Amino acid sequence: MTQTSDTVTWLTQEAYDQLKAELDHLSGPARVEIAKKIEQAREEGDLKENAGYHAAKEEQGKMEARVRQLTQLLESAQVGEAPADTGVVAPGMVVTIAFDGDEDDTMTFLLASREFATSDIETYSPQSPLGSGVNGKKAGEDAEYTLPNGSTAHVKILEAKPYQAA
């Protein structure tokens, strides 16, 4: 099945493995653990005023939401090496932009899923306003995107290089 680049999440093998391990834990041992907590709280009696029961059910809901999120993410993940060094902005690229063409007012970020966020560099999703505005543009090209207040921001792509983990 072919998917467009805005529905695919680019992940390194390491990131994929880490997220898969989290999913496996939440789907297996963590589910058993939360079921035991709920059962223990249920045995304490009246469920209407049982804070432990309600806390465990809330924890179960959050965990199940994370399982669904991880499942969807991993199903649409593209795993492998960083994209080719072509100067074209794409998920998995470190992008340097200049705001309003002012080469003194620049920002560098990784265009990738928030799941791939790292403390090394700020990460913007390809679906974010900035991410979708620059995605597919080449170094030297201008791009624009809509700000939350409705106005339009203009940037110039200075550089797009494949991300290399430190």
Question: What is the count of structural domains for the chain?
Answer: 2
Beta carbons of 125 and 113 less than 8 angstroms apart: yes
Tell me, yes or no, whether 43 and 97 share the same domain: no
Long-range contacts of 21-27 (CB under 8 A, 24+ apart): 22/70, 23/67, 23/70, 23/71, 23/74, 26/63, 26/66, 26/67, 26/70, 27/67
- For tokens 């669904």, the residue is 68
Of 6-15, 46-55, 141-150, least confident by mean pLDDT is 6-15
Say if residue 73 is in the same domain as residue 100: no
Write the CATH number for 157.
Answer: 3.10.50.30
In a shared domain, residues 117 and 62: no
| Domain annotation covers residue 137 | yes
> Mean pLDDT in the chain?
83
CATH code where residue 27 lies: 1.10.287.180
Condensed to tens digits (0 to 9), the pLDDT of residues 41-75 reads 888 877 778 888 889 999 999 999 999 988 888 88
pLDDT tens digit sequence for 11-22: 767 778 888 999
Are 74 and 99 within one domain? no
**Same domain assignment for residues 104 and 60:** no
What is the mean pLDDT of the segment spanning 28-51? 87
Say if strands 77-79 and 9-11 run parallel, antiparallel, or are unpaired: parallel
Amino acid at 119: S
Of 74, 113, 73, the residue nearest 90 (C-alpha): 113
Is 85 contained in some domain?
A: no
Of 30, 50, 79, the last residue of a domain is 79
Is 70 contained in some domain?
Answer: yes
**Range of 30's domain?**
9-79
pLDDT: is 133 or 112 the higher one?
A: 133
Give the DSSP H/E element, type plus range, for residue 162.
strand 152-162
